[in-house]
Amino acid sequence: MTDCGCEKAKRDLEEYLHHELERTEYADITEHMAGCVDCAEEHHIGVVLTDAVKRACRDTAPEQLREHVMVQLRLLTRHV
């Protein structure tokens, strides 16, 4: 394997986080991050953000909020 460099590692970070790269590209970026603190930190930030978004998407709004939004939407559609 060859060190892919910071530019490629950062450019392909999103695909890397979602395992959307070919095995060799994934392995090259993994190897690069093992020796590059800056890219490893970027990866850590990406992992934390991805996990936060996943958690937020699992949460549901309180029933009272849902009802309020539905009432407001109905009011808006009456005026269209």
| Tens digit of pLDDT at every position of the chain (80 positions) | 566 789 999 999 999 999 999 999 999 999 999 999 999 999 999 999 999 998 888 878 889 999 999 999 999 888 66
With 0.75 as the threshold, say if the pTM is over it.
no
Distance in angstroms (rounded) separating the CA atoms of residues 16 and 27: 10
50 closest CA partner among 6, 20, 5, 7: 20
33 closest CA partner among 48, 20, 46, 22: 46
The class (CATH top level) of 6-78 is mainly alpha
32 closest CA partner among 55, 51, 9: 9
Q: What are the residue ranges spanned by the domains of the chain?
A: 6-78
